[in-house]
Amino acid sequence: MGSKTRLLSLLTPIQLLQAFFCILLALTLALHAILSSTSTLLLDHNIRLALSQHRIALFSLLWCTLVALLAYLSTRPRPVLLLDYACFRPDTDRKCSYETCEYFVRRSRRYNDVSEQFMRGIYHKSGLGDETYVPSFIFQNDYEAKMQSALEEAEEGMTAAVDALLAKTNVPASAIDLLIATCGMFAPCPSLTSFLVHHYHLPESTTTYNLSGMGCSSGVGAIDLAARILKSSRKIRYALVVITESISLNWYFGDNRSMLVTNCIFRVGTAAVLISNDPAKRDVAKMEFLHSLRTHHGADDASYRAAYQEEDDAGTVGVALKKDLIRVAGEGLRAHIRLLAPKALPWSQLIQYAYHVVRGWVRKGDQKQKVPDFTTAFEHMCVHTGGKAVIESVGRLMQLDDSVTEPARMCLHRFGNTSSSLVFYELAYFDAKGRIKSGDKIWMLAFGTGFKVCSLVWRALGDSVMEPDNPWKDCIHRYPMKTW
Protein backbone atom coordinates (compact mmCIF):
# COMPACT_ATOMS: atom_id res chain seq x y z
CA MET A 1 0.00 0.00 0.00
CA GLY A 2 2.88 2.33 0.76
CA SER A 3 4.43 1.81 -2.67
CA LYS A 4 1.13 2.76 -4.33
CA THR A 5 0.94 5.97 -2.29
CA ARG A 6 4.49 6.90 -3.26
CA LEU A 7 3.71 6.22 -6.91
CA LEU A 8 0.65 8.49 -6.82
CA SER A 9 2.65 11.25 -5.14
CA LEU A 10 5.10 11.26 -8.07
CA LEU A 11 2.32 11.93 -10.59
CA THR A 12 1.18 15.46 -11.37
CA PRO A 13 -2.57 16.31 -11.36
CA ILE A 14 -2.56 16.36 -15.17
CA GLN A 15 -0.98 12.89 -15.31
CA LEU A 16 -3.57 11.55 -12.86
CA LEU A 17 -6.34 13.07 -14.99
CA GLN A 18 -4.91 11.46 -18.11
CA ALA A 19 -4.82 8.06 -16.39
CA PHE A 20 -8.42 8.52 -15.27
CA PHE A 21 -9.54 9.33 -18.82
CA CYS A 22 -7.79 6.23 -20.20
CA ILE A 23 -9.57 4.03 -17.66
CA LEU A 24 -12.87 5.74 -18.46
CA LEU A 25 -12.34 5.14 -22.18
CA ALA A 26 -11.63 1.44 -21.58
CA LEU A 27 -14.79 1.09 -19.47
CA THR A 28 -16.83 2.94 -22.10
CA LEU A 29 -15.66 0.65 -24.90
CA ALA A 30 -16.31 -2.44 -22.76
CA LEU A 31 -19.83 -1.23 -21.90
CA HIS A 32 -20.50 -0.49 -25.55
CA ALA A 33 -19.48 -4.04 -26.51
CA ILE A 34 -21.67 -5.58 -23.80
CA LEU A 35 -24.74 -3.55 -24.76
CA SER A 36 -24.23 -4.32 -28.44
CA SER A 37 -24.08 -8.08 -27.83
CA THR A 38 -27.09 -7.98 -25.51
CA SER A 39 -29.23 -5.88 -27.85
CA THR A 40 -28.44 -8.33 -30.67
CA LEU A 41 -30.25 -11.12 -28.82
CA LEU A 42 -33.27 -9.12 -27.62
CA LEU A 43 -34.17 -6.54 -30.24
CA ASP A 44 -35.00 -6.54 -33.92
CA HIS A 45 -32.69 -5.07 -36.53
CA ASN A 46 -34.21 -1.54 -36.74
CA ILE A 47 -34.25 -1.01 -32.99
CA ARG A 48 -30.69 -2.33 -32.69
CA LEU A 49 -29.52 0.06 -35.39
CA ALA A 50 -31.17 3.09 -33.76
CA LEU A 51 -29.76 2.25 -30.32
CA SER A 52 -26.30 1.69 -31.78
CA GLN A 53 -26.32 5.07 -33.54
CA HIS A 54 -27.48 6.89 -30.39
CA ARG A 55 -24.84 5.17 -28.27
CA ILE A 56 -22.10 6.00 -30.75
CA ALA A 57 -23.18 9.65 -30.86
CA LEU A 58 -23.40 9.85 -27.06
CA PHE A 59 -20.06 8.17 -26.48
CA SER A 60 -18.38 10.32 -29.15
CA LEU A 61 -19.76 13.51 -27.59
CA LEU A 62 -18.66 12.42 -24.12
CA TRP A 63 -15.17 11.50 -25.32
CA CYS A 64 -14.69 14.74 -27.28
CA THR A 65 -15.75 16.72 -24.22
CA LEU A 66 -13.25 14.89 -22.02
CA VAL A 67 -10.43 15.32 -24.55
CA ALA A 68 -11.19 19.05 -24.88
CA LEU A 69 -11.17 19.44 -21.10
CA LEU A 70 -7.88 17.59 -20.86
CA ALA A 71 -6.34 19.76 -23.59
CA TYR A 72 -7.49 22.92 -21.83
CA LEU A 73 -6.11 21.85 -18.46
CA SER A 74 -2.84 20.73 -20.07
CA THR A 75 -2.13 23.93 -21.96
CA ARG A 76 -3.46 26.80 -19.85
CA PRO A 77 -0.66 28.71 -18.09
CA ARG A 78 -0.33 28.40 -14.35
CA PRO A 79 -0.66 31.48 -12.13
CA VAL A 80 2.66 32.95 -10.99
CA LEU A 81 2.64 34.19 -7.40
CA LEU A 82 5.21 36.30 -5.56
CA LEU A 83 5.23 34.68 -2.14
CA ASP A 84 7.54 37.24 -0.53
CA TYR A 85 10.78 39.17 -0.92
CA ALA A 86 13.61 40.48 1.26
CA CYS A 87 16.04 43.38 0.85
CA PHE A 88 19.52 43.41 2.36
CA ARG A 89 20.51 46.29 4.60
CA PRO A 90 24.18 46.36 5.70
CA ASP A 91 25.30 47.24 9.21
CA THR A 92 25.29 50.84 10.39
CA ASP A 93 29.08 51.11 10.24
CA ARG A 94 28.89 50.75 6.44
CA LYS A 95 26.92 53.96 5.96
CA CYS A 96 28.59 56.38 3.61
CA SER A 97 28.03 60.07 4.23
CA TYR A 98 29.45 62.87 2.09
CA GLU A 99 32.26 63.32 4.61
CA THR A 100 33.13 59.63 4.36
CA CYS A 101 33.29 59.82 0.57
CA GLU A 102 35.45 62.91 0.61
CA TYR A 103 37.78 61.37 3.21
CA PHE A 104 38.17 58.21 1.12
CA VAL A 105 38.85 60.15 -2.09
CA ARG A 106 41.51 62.36 -0.53
CA ARG A 107 43.27 59.66 1.49
CA SER A 108 43.42 57.30 -1.50
CA ARG A 109 45.42 59.87 -3.52
CA ARG A 110 44.17 58.27 -6.72
CA TYR A 111 42.46 61.36 -8.18
CA ASN A 112 43.65 64.77 -9.29
CA ASP A 113 42.16 68.02 -7.97
CA VAL A 114 39.90 68.46 -11.00
CA SER A 115 38.39 64.98 -10.56
CA GLU A 116 37.85 65.57 -6.85
CA GLN A 117 36.02 68.81 -7.54
CA PHE A 118 33.94 67.13 -10.26
CA MET A 119 32.85 64.27 -7.98
CA ARG A 120 32.05 66.75 -5.23
CA GLY A 121 29.68 68.59 -7.56
CA ILE A 122 28.06 65.38 -8.83
CA TYR A 123 27.50 64.10 -5.30
CA HIS A 124 25.84 67.30 -4.11
CA LYS A 125 23.46 67.23 -7.10
CA SER A 126 22.85 63.45 -7.09
CA GLY A 127 19.94 63.32 -4.64
CA LEU A 128 21.76 60.80 -2.40
CA GLY A 129 21.61 61.20 1.36
CA ASP A 130 24.16 60.40 4.04
CA GLU A 131 22.88 56.90 4.88
CA THR A 132 23.63 54.92 1.74
CA TYR A 133 25.90 51.87 2.03
CA VAL A 134 29.26 51.07 0.42
CA PRO A 135 31.54 47.98 0.41
CA SER A 136 33.87 47.34 3.30
CA PHE A 137 37.04 48.12 1.30
CA ILE A 138 36.10 51.82 1.44
CA PHE A 139 36.91 51.74 5.17
CA GLN A 140 40.17 49.81 4.87
CA ASN A 141 43.64 51.33 4.96
CA ASP A 142 44.98 50.19 1.59
CA TYR A 143 41.98 51.62 -0.35
CA GLU A 144 42.31 48.86 -2.90
CA ALA A 145 39.40 46.71 -4.07
CA LYS A 146 40.39 43.06 -4.43
CA MET A 147 38.66 39.86 -5.52
CA GLN A 148 38.13 38.87 -1.91
CA SER A 149 36.29 42.12 -1.21
CA ALA A 150 33.95 41.49 -4.15
CA LEU A 151 33.27 37.91 -2.99
CA GLU A 152 32.55 39.07 0.55
CA GLU A 153 30.23 41.77 -0.74
CA ALA A 154 28.26 39.32 -2.89
CA GLU A 155 28.11 36.54 -0.30
CA GLU A 156 27.12 38.87 2.53
CA GLY A 157 24.24 40.44 0.64
CA MET A 158 22.93 37.22 -0.89
CA THR A 159 22.97 35.11 2.27
CA ALA A 160 21.41 37.85 4.39
CA ALA A 161 18.55 38.39 1.92
CA VAL A 162 17.92 34.68 1.28
CA ASP A 163 18.04 33.82 5.00
CA ALA A 164 15.44 36.48 5.77
CA LEU A 165 13.25 35.34 2.87
CA LEU A 166 13.27 31.64 3.74
CA ALA A 167 12.64 32.39 7.41
CA LYS A 168 9.46 34.38 6.79
CA THR A 169 8.03 32.16 4.04
CA ASN A 170 8.68 28.89 5.91
CA VAL A 171 9.68 27.31 2.60
CA PRO A 172 12.59 24.88 3.06
CA ALA A 173 15.60 25.26 0.79
CA SER A 174 15.03 21.68 -0.39
CA ALA A 175 11.77 22.78 -2.06
CA ILE A 176 13.55 25.21 -4.41
CA ASP A 177 14.03 23.68 -7.85
CA LEU A 178 14.69 26.84 -9.90
CA LEU A 179 17.44 29.31 -8.96
CA ILE A 180 18.28 32.50 -10.84
CA ALA A 181 21.05 34.87 -9.76
CA THR A 182 21.84 38.13 -11.48
CA CYS A 183 24.82 40.44 -11.04
CA GLY A 184 25.66 42.78 -13.87
CA MET A 185 29.38 43.40 -13.27
CA PHE A 186 30.67 40.40 -11.32
CA ALA A 187 30.82 36.84 -12.65
CA PRO A 188 33.13 34.74 -10.44
CA CYS A 189 34.04 31.09 -10.92
CA PRO A 190 32.34 29.06 -9.49
CA SER A 191 29.25 31.09 -10.28
CA LEU A 192 26.99 32.88 -7.82
CA THR A 193 24.33 30.20 -8.24
CA SER A 194 26.93 27.53 -7.46
CA PHE A 195 27.74 29.38 -4.23
CA LEU A 196 24.05 29.45 -3.31
CA VAL A 197 23.54 25.77 -4.15
CA HIS A 198 26.57 24.89 -2.01
CA HIS A 199 25.66 27.21 0.87
CA TYR A 200 22.01 26.10 1.16
CA HIS A 201 22.54 22.47 0.06
CA LEU A 202 19.97 22.74 -2.69
CA PRO A 203 18.85 19.53 -4.46
CA GLU A 204 20.95 18.15 -7.29
CA SER A 205 17.98 18.59 -9.65
CA THR A 206 17.88 22.38 -9.12
CA THR A 207 17.88 24.28 -12.41
CA THR A 208 20.17 27.33 -12.25
CA TYR A 209 20.68 30.43 -14.38
CA ASN A 210 23.29 33.20 -14.07
CA LEU A 211 22.52 36.56 -15.70
CA SER A 212 25.20 39.23 -16.18
CA GLY A 213 25.96 42.35 -18.20
CA MET A 214 22.35 43.60 -18.13
CA GLY A 215 22.78 46.53 -15.76
CA CYS A 216 19.92 47.86 -13.68
CA SER A 217 17.27 45.99 -15.69
CA SER A 218 18.55 42.53 -14.78
CA GLY A 219 16.43 42.22 -11.64
CA VAL A 220 13.21 42.75 -13.56
CA GLY A 221 14.54 40.56 -16.38
CA ALA A 222 15.33 37.73 -13.94
CA ILE A 223 11.80 37.82 -12.53
CA ASP A 224 10.44 37.75 -16.08
CA LEU A 225 12.56 34.68 -16.88
CA ALA A 226 11.37 32.87 -13.74
CA ALA A 227 7.73 33.74 -14.47
CA ARG A 228 7.94 32.41 -18.03
CA ILE A 229 9.43 29.12 -16.81
CA LEU A 230 6.84 28.70 -14.06
CA LYS A 231 3.88 29.54 -16.31
CA SER A 232 4.87 26.88 -18.83
CA SER A 233 5.70 24.19 -16.27
CA ARG A 234 3.22 21.37 -15.65
CA LYS A 235 4.52 20.70 -12.12
CA ILE A 236 4.45 22.76 -8.96
CA ARG A 237 7.74 24.64 -8.65
CA TYR A 238 9.44 27.18 -6.41
CA ALA A 239 11.81 29.73 -7.93
CA LEU A 240 14.35 31.71 -5.92
CA VAL A 241 15.60 34.86 -7.65
CA VAL A 242 18.63 36.59 -6.10
CA ILE A 243 19.39 40.09 -7.38
CA THR A 244 22.66 41.80 -6.51
CA GLU A 245 25.48 43.97 -7.83
CA SER A 246 29.20 44.27 -7.11
CA ILE A 247 30.62 47.70 -6.29
CA SER A 248 34.04 46.55 -5.05
CA LEU A 249 35.74 45.59 -8.31
CA ASN A 250 33.93 48.29 -10.26
CA TRP A 251 34.99 51.33 -8.27
CA TYR A 252 36.74 53.60 -10.76
CA PHE A 253 40.20 54.92 -9.88
CA GLY A 254 40.83 57.30 -12.77
CA ASP A 255 40.11 60.78 -14.04
CA ASN A 256 37.63 60.20 -16.89
CA ARG A 257 34.56 62.28 -16.00
CA SER A 258 32.00 59.99 -17.61
CA MET A 259 33.35 57.11 -15.52
CA LEU A 260 33.59 59.03 -12.25
CA VAL A 261 29.81 59.43 -12.11
CA THR A 262 29.33 55.76 -11.15
CA ASN A 263 31.37 56.30 -7.97
CA CYS A 264 28.93 58.99 -6.89
CA ILE A 265 25.57 57.23 -7.37
CA PHE A 266 25.97 53.42 -7.16
CA ARG A 267 25.66 51.79 -3.75
CA VAL A 268 25.39 48.34 -2.13
CA GLY A 269 22.06 46.49 -2.32
CA THR A 270 20.67 42.97 -2.74
CA ALA A 271 17.16 41.51 -2.96
CA ALA A 272 15.85 37.93 -2.85
CA VAL A 273 12.45 36.98 -4.24
CA LEU A 274 10.52 33.71 -3.93
CA ILE A 275 7.86 32.96 -6.54
CA SER A 276 5.79 29.86 -7.26
CA ASN A 277 3.15 28.49 -9.62
CA ASP A 278 1.29 26.67 -6.84
CA PRO A 279 -2.37 27.87 -6.84
CA ALA A 280 -2.71 26.68 -3.25
CA LYS A 281 -0.30 29.47 -2.20
CA ARG A 282 -2.64 32.26 -3.30
CA ASP A 283 -3.86 32.86 0.25
CA VAL A 284 -0.34 33.55 1.55
CA ALA A 285 1.20 35.20 -1.52
CA LYS A 286 1.79 38.95 -1.71
CA MET A 287 1.20 39.52 -5.42
CA GLU A 288 0.15 37.79 -8.60
CA PHE A 289 2.13 38.23 -11.81
CA LEU A 290 -0.01 39.68 -14.62
CA HIS A 291 2.32 40.39 -17.54
CA SER A 292 5.75 41.68 -18.51
CA LEU A 293 7.44 43.47 -21.37
CA ARG A 294 11.11 43.70 -22.36
CA THR A 295 12.33 45.88 -25.21
CA HIS A 296 15.91 45.91 -26.47
CA HIS A 297 17.27 48.91 -28.38
CA GLY A 298 20.84 47.67 -28.82
CA ALA A 299 20.63 47.83 -32.63
CA ASP A 300 21.05 51.60 -32.34
CA ASP A 301 24.69 52.69 -31.88
CA ALA A 302 23.90 55.48 -29.40
CA SER A 303 21.73 53.16 -27.30
CA TYR A 304 24.34 50.41 -27.32
CA ARG A 305 27.12 52.71 -26.06
CA ALA A 306 25.05 54.88 -23.70
CA ALA A 307 26.48 52.99 -20.70
CA TYR A 308 29.65 51.18 -21.71
CA GLN A 309 32.46 49.43 -19.86
CA GLU A 310 35.85 50.28 -21.34
CA GLU A 311 39.36 51.47 -20.56
CA ASP A 312 40.22 55.14 -20.20
CA ASP A 313 43.32 56.73 -21.76
CA ALA A 314 45.45 55.42 -18.89
CA GLY A 315 44.18 51.85 -19.24
CA THR A 316 41.96 51.96 -16.15
CA VAL A 317 38.65 50.09 -16.57
CA GLY A 318 35.40 51.85 -15.76
CA VAL A 319 31.79 52.18 -16.84
CA ALA A 320 31.25 55.33 -18.88
CA LEU A 321 27.83 56.95 -18.63
CA LYS A 322 27.63 58.99 -21.83
CA LYS A 323 26.07 62.46 -22.07
CA ASP A 324 23.18 61.28 -24.24
CA LEU A 325 22.15 58.58 -21.74
CA ILE A 326 19.07 60.55 -20.69
CA ARG A 327 18.03 61.09 -24.31
CA VAL A 328 18.50 57.40 -25.06
CA ALA A 329 16.48 56.46 -21.97
CA GLY A 330 13.67 58.78 -23.05
CA GLU A 331 13.51 57.35 -26.56
CA GLY A 332 13.65 53.80 -25.25
CA LEU A 333 10.84 54.53 -22.79
CA ARG A 334 8.65 56.04 -25.53
CA ALA A 335 9.02 52.93 -27.66
CA HIS A 336 8.43 50.73 -24.63
CA ILE A 337 5.20 52.35 -23.48
CA ARG A 338 3.78 52.22 -27.02
CA LEU A 339 3.93 48.43 -26.72
CA LEU A 340 2.88 48.32 -23.07
CA ALA A 341 -0.15 50.61 -23.46
CA PRO A 342 -2.44 48.10 -25.25
CA LYS A 343 -1.75 45.51 -22.53
CA ALA A 344 -2.23 47.73 -19.53
CA LEU A 345 -4.35 50.83 -20.27
CA PRO A 346 -8.15 50.94 -19.96
CA TRP A 347 -10.19 51.40 -23.15
CA SER A 348 -10.94 55.05 -22.37
CA GLN A 349 -7.23 55.92 -22.40
CA LEU A 350 -6.55 53.84 -25.50
CA ILE A 351 -9.31 55.64 -27.42
CA GLN A 352 -8.01 59.05 -26.37
CA TYR A 353 -4.47 58.08 -27.31
CA ALA A 354 -5.57 56.76 -30.73
CA TYR A 355 -7.56 59.96 -31.35
CA HIS A 356 -4.55 62.20 -30.65
CA VAL A 357 -2.29 60.03 -32.82
CA VAL A 358 -4.70 60.24 -35.75
CA ARG A 359 -5.22 63.97 -35.27
CA GLY A 360 -1.46 64.54 -35.17
CA TRP A 361 -1.06 62.51 -38.34
CA VAL A 362 -3.80 64.49 -40.12
CA ARG A 363 -2.19 67.76 -39.07
CA LYS A 364 1.20 66.45 -40.22
CA GLY A 365 2.79 66.29 -36.79
CA ASP A 366 1.96 69.82 -35.69
CA GLN A 367 0.09 68.52 -32.66
CA LYS A 368 2.16 67.72 -29.58
CA GLN A 369 2.39 63.98 -28.98
CA LYS A 370 -0.13 62.69 -26.44
CA VAL A 371 1.20 60.60 -23.54
CA PRO A 372 -1.31 58.13 -22.07
CA ASP A 373 -2.16 58.53 -18.40
CA PHE A 374 -0.68 55.38 -16.88
CA THR A 375 -1.98 56.31 -13.43
CA THR A 376 -5.37 55.08 -14.69
CA ALA A 377 -3.88 51.60 -15.15
CA PHE A 378 -1.66 51.33 -12.06
CA GLU A 379 -2.21 52.41 -8.47
CA HIS A 380 1.53 52.29 -7.71
CA MET A 381 4.70 52.68 -9.78
CA CYS A 382 8.23 51.58 -8.92
CA VAL A 383 10.09 53.91 -11.27
CA HIS A 384 13.73 53.23 -12.13
CA THR A 385 15.95 54.85 -9.48
CA GLY A 386 18.90 55.42 -11.78
CA GLY A 387 19.61 58.94 -10.59
CA LYS A 388 18.09 62.39 -10.23
CA ALA A 389 18.20 63.12 -13.98
CA VAL A 390 16.64 59.75 -14.86
CA ILE A 391 13.75 60.14 -12.40
CA GLU A 392 13.07 63.69 -13.60
CA SER A 393 13.20 62.56 -17.24
CA VAL A 394 10.70 59.73 -16.66
CA GLY A 395 8.38 62.03 -14.71
CA ARG A 396 8.55 64.71 -17.40
CA LEU A 397 8.07 62.30 -20.30
CA MET A 398 5.11 60.50 -18.72
CA GLN A 399 3.70 63.66 -17.11
CA LEU A 400 3.77 62.16 -13.62
CA ASP A 401 3.13 64.15 -10.46
CA ASP A 402 5.78 64.32 -7.75
CA SER A 403 3.58 62.04 -5.65
CA VAL A 404 4.04 59.26 -8.21
CA THR A 405 7.84 59.57 -8.38
CA GLU A 406 8.12 60.09 -4.60
CA PRO A 407 9.13 56.45 -3.82
CA ALA A 408 11.90 56.59 -6.44
CA ARG A 409 13.27 59.89 -5.08
CA MET A 410 13.14 58.68 -1.48
CA CYS A 411 14.77 55.37 -2.40
CA LEU A 412 17.58 57.21 -4.18
CA HIS A 413 18.11 59.40 -1.12
CA ARG A 414 18.14 56.52 1.39
CA PHE A 415 19.87 53.72 -0.52
CA GLY A 416 21.34 55.29 -3.67
CA ASN A 417 21.27 53.45 -6.99
CA THR A 418 21.40 49.79 -5.92
CA SER A 419 21.27 48.77 -9.60
CA SER A 420 19.23 45.66 -10.39
CA SER A 421 17.57 45.39 -6.95
CA LEU A 422 16.31 48.97 -6.83
CA VAL A 423 12.63 48.27 -7.64
CA PHE A 424 12.30 45.99 -4.60
CA TYR A 425 13.64 48.70 -2.27
CA GLU A 426 10.86 50.86 -3.71
CA LEU A 427 8.33 48.09 -3.13
CA ALA A 428 9.55 47.96 0.48
CA TYR A 429 8.86 51.71 0.72
CA PHE A 430 5.23 51.13 -0.29
CA ASP A 431 4.95 48.33 2.29
CA ALA A 432 6.52 50.47 5.01
CA LYS A 433 3.99 53.21 4.28
CA GLY A 434 1.10 50.73 4.11
CA ARG A 435 -0.07 52.13 0.78
CA ILE A 436 -0.80 48.95 -1.18
CA LYS A 437 -4.32 47.55 -0.88
CA SER A 438 -5.67 44.24 -2.07
CA GLY A 439 -6.43 44.37 -5.80
CA ASP A 440 -4.07 47.27 -6.54
CA LYS A 441 -1.86 47.01 -9.61
CA ILE A 442 1.87 47.70 -9.31
CA TRP A 443 4.14 48.60 -12.23
CA MET A 444 7.90 47.98 -11.95
CA LEU A 445 9.97 49.83 -14.56
CA ALA A 446 13.75 49.49 -14.97
CA PHE A 447 16.38 50.48 -17.55
CA GLY A 448 19.55 48.59 -18.33
CA THR A 449 22.70 48.66 -20.39
CA GLY A 450 22.36 47.49 -23.92
CA PHE A 451 20.00 49.55 -23.97
CA LYS A 452 16.99 47.76 -22.42
CA VAL A 453 13.68 48.80 -20.88
CA CYS A 454 11.84 46.19 -18.79
CA SER A 455 8.43 46.18 -17.10
CA LEU A 456 6.61 43.91 -14.65
CA VAL A 457 2.94 44.25 -13.76
CA TRP A 458 1.56 42.72 -10.55
CA ARG A 459 -1.78 42.57 -8.74
CA ALA A 460 -1.67 42.78 -4.94
CA LEU A 461 -3.38 39.88 -3.17
CA GLY A 462 -3.47 41.59 0.21
CA ASP A 463 -2.84 44.87 2.01
CA SER A 464 0.80 45.81 2.55
CA VAL A 465 2.24 45.57 6.07
CA MET A 466 5.47 46.65 7.72
CA GLU A 467 7.52 43.51 8.36
CA PRO A 468 10.42 43.25 10.85
CA ASP A 469 13.02 42.87 8.08
CA ASN A 470 11.82 45.85 6.04
CA PRO A 471 14.90 48.00 5.21
CA TRP A 472 12.91 51.18 5.94
CA LYS A 473 11.71 50.11 9.39
CA ASP A 474 13.81 52.55 11.46
CA CYS A 475 13.65 55.60 9.17
CA ILE A 476 10.30 55.56 7.36
CA HIS A 477 8.92 58.16 9.76
CA ARG A 478 11.34 60.71 8.25
CA TYR A 479 10.04 60.18 4.71
CA PRO A 480 9.00 61.68 2.42
CA MET A 481 11.37 64.61 2.65
CA LYS A 482 12.60 67.26 0.25
CA THR A 483 15.65 65.78 -1.51
CA TRP A 484 16.17 68.32 -4.33
- Residue 179 forms part of a structural domain: yes
Domain count, the chain: 2
Whether residues 348 and 412 fall in one domain: yes
pLDDT tier for residue 61 given thresholds of 50, 70 and 90 = low
Whether residues 59 and 132 fall in one domain: no
- Residue 388 forms part of a structural domain: yes
Per-residue pLDDT at 11: 44
Mean pLDDT of 273-282: 94
- Residue 45 forms part of a structural domain: yes
| 449 closest CA partner among 337, 292, 309, 253 | 309
Whether residues 137 and 198 fall in one domain: yes
Mean pLDDT of 429-452: 94
- Residue 260 forms part of a structural domain: yes
Is the Cβ–Cβ distance between 196 and 202 less than 8 Å?
A: yes
pLDDT tier for residue 21 given thresholds of 50, 70 and 90 = low
Structure-model confidence comparison of residues 340 and 40, the more confident one: 340
Whether residues 207 and 319 fall in one domain: yes
Q: What is the pLDDT of residues 119-134, one digit of tens each?
A: 999 999 999 999 999 9
- Residue 483 forms part of a structural domain: no
How far apart are the C-alpha atoms of 330 and 430, rounded to whole Å? 25
Catalytic residues: 216, 296, 380, 384, 413, 417
Structure-model confidence comparison of residues 376 and 47, the more confident one: 376
| Domain edge (last residue) among 51, 75, 99 | 75
pLDDT tier for residue 403 given thresholds of 50, 70 and 90 = very high
Mean pLDDT of 79-106: 93
| Domain edge (last residue) among 24, 53, 75 | 75
Which residues 6+ apart lie within 8 Å of 3 measured at CB?
Answer: none
Whether residues 71 and 198 fall in one domain: no
Per-residue pLDDT at 53: 58
Share of the chain above pLDDT 70, in %: 82
| 355 closest CA partner among 225, 233, 347 | 347
| Domain edge (last residue) among 48, 75, 102 | 75
Whether residues 43 and 100 fall in one domain: no
Highest mean pLDDT among 18-32, 91-105, 142-156: 91-105
- Residue 229 forms part of a structural domain: yes
| 349 closest CA partner among 382, 390, 398 | 398
Per-residue pLDDT at 3: 45
- Residue 181 forms part of a structural domain: yes
Whether residues 180 and 146 fall in one domain: yes
Asked if residue 9 has pLDDT above 90, the reply is: no
Which residues 6+ apart lie within 8 Å of 476 measured at CB?
Answer: 429, 432, 433, 466, 470
Whether residues 89 and 42 fall in one domain: no
How far apart are the C-alpha atoms of 76 and 460, rounded to whole Å? 22
Whether residues 35 and 102 fall in one domain: no
Asked if residue 457 has pLDDT above 90, the reply is: yes
Q: Give the CATH number of the domain where residue 190 resides.
A: 3.40.47.10
Whether residues 399 and 456 fall in one domain: yes
Whether residues 89 and 55 fall in one domain: no
Mean pLDDT is lowest, of 49-53, 106-110, 346-350, 351-355, for: 49-53
Per-residue pLDDT at 341: 87
Q: What is the pTM of this model?
A: 0.84
Is the Cβ–Cβ distance between 260 and 122 less than 8 Å?
A: yes
Structure-model confidence comparison of residues 11 and 433, the more confident one: 433
- Residue 187 forms part of a structural domain: yes
Mean pLDDT of 317-321: 91
Whether residues 281 and 224 fall in one domain: yes
Per-residue pLDDT at 1: 42
Highest mean pLDDT among 32-36, 43-47, 101-105, 422-426: 422-426
pLDDT tier for residue 351 given thresholds of 50, 70 and 90 = confident
pLDDT tier for residue 239 given thresholds of 50, 70 and 90 = very high
Mean pLDDT of the chain: 86
Per-residue pLDDT at 256: 93
pLDDT tier for residue 4 given thresholds of 50, 70 and 90 = very low
In terms of residue numbers, what domain contains 51? 2-75
Per-residue pLDDT at 63: 63
